[in-house]
Amino acid sequence: MTREDLIHQIKAKQSFLCVGLDSDLSRIPRHLLEAKDPLFEFNKIIIDHTKEHCVAYKPNIAFYESLGSKGWESLAKTVDYIPDTHFTIADAKRGDIGNTSKQYAKTFFETLQFDSITVAPYMGIDSVSPFLEYSDKWVILLALTSNKGSDDFQHMTDVNGEQLFEQVLRKSQAWGSPDNLMFVVGATHPEAFKGIREIAKEHFLLVPGVGAQGGTVAEVCQFGLNEDIGLLINSSRGIIFASDGEDFGERAGESAKQLAMQMQPLI
């Protein structure tokens, strides 16, 4: 999906919501366990009830690969089921030496046909560039993450007082462009968005941490928006696990709609 296509979908849907498919088999409604493929059945119903309120879906790969071949099968079926109008993110957090990254890129861009993948920048340009070789595909580089442990390294400063995540933002812009490179910036760091937008004015930001982790749409948007919206705000558990009963699909749709309605006046 191109940048223009993504912006068009945001404006058409009046939403920049991403639904995270962190589909934990131990948490899905018990009645689904009788299905032939419980994980896919869960995702299918979630997608059916949320697709009108969001522009993207982000399966967290760990919840699928932990189940072995059956999990990969559920993931492939899920990606195929997501409408072509929606941006797809493989939340895989890959990043390795170049020849290994080439294989990761082939897995997620060719075999599974995702639009994008999250990538760790720690090993540098040669671990990231294989993903950037694909046209109309995106790298979403980890910059400032939403977890508590982000303080361990991401805020470390150099001799000039620049934090590590800021160095990642500056350096990596030479690797890609706003047409194929996004950054992960957690909603749990609302105070950082103003400075981040001074460094990365045009790039899209994928923003996890809204909902269960405590971030809010209002805090993110205060400084995170740019002329093209430039945000994909993700909510996972707050949407897909809004209910553990047979009404889980409807409740997920309601939760997604509530977040989308907060975004609508800003578009």
Residue 219 has pLDDT above 80, yes or no: yes
Q: How far is CA 145 from CA 85, 152, 165, 212, in A?
A: 27, 11, 9, 15
pLDDT at 142: 97
pLDDT at 93: 97
SS3 of 80, please? Answer: helix
Confidence of residue 154 (pLDDT cuts 50, 70, 90): confident
Pairing mode, strands 116-119 and 138-144: parallel
Q: What are the residues whose beta carbons fall under 8 Å from the beta carbon of 32, sequence distance 6 or more?
A: 38, 41, 42
Confidence of residue 212 (pLDDT cuts 50, 70, 90): low
What mean pLDDT do residues 75-86 have?
Answer: 98
User: How many domains does the chain fold into?
Assistant: 1
Which residue bears the tokens 């749409």?
A: 217
Catalytic residue among 11, 70, 77, 93: 93
Half-sphere exposure of 18 (CA within 13 A, CB side): 28
Q: Is 93 a catalytic residue?
A: yes
Rounded Cα gap, residues 253 and 199, in angstroms:
35
Residue 192 and residue 220 in contact, taking contact as beta carbons nearer than 8 Å? no
Residue 211 has pLDDT above 80, yes or no: no
Using a pLDDT cut of 90, give the percent of the chain over it. Answer: 89
Rounded Cα gap, residues 72 and 21, in angstroms:
14
pLDDT at 155: 86
| Maximal CA-CA distance, the chain | 59
pLDDT at 160: 85
Residue 25 has pLDDT above 90, yes or no: yes
The continuous run of DSSP H or E covering 217 comes out as helix 217-224
pLDDT tens by residue, 246-258: 999 999 999 999 9
Q: Which domain holds residue 150?
A: 3-266
Beta-bridge mates of residue 88: 57
Q: What is the pTM (predicted TM-score) of this model?
A: 0.96
Backbone phi and psi for residue 56, each to the nearest 5 degrees, phi listed first: -150, 155
**Degrees, nearest 5: CA angle 167-170-174:** 130
Say how many C-beta atoms besides its own lie within 10 A of residue 44's C-beta.
Answer: 17
Residue 170 has pLDDT above 90, yes or no: yes
> For the domain that residue 170 is a member of, what is the CATH number?
3.20.20.70
Mean pLDDT over each residue of the chain, to the nearest integer: 95
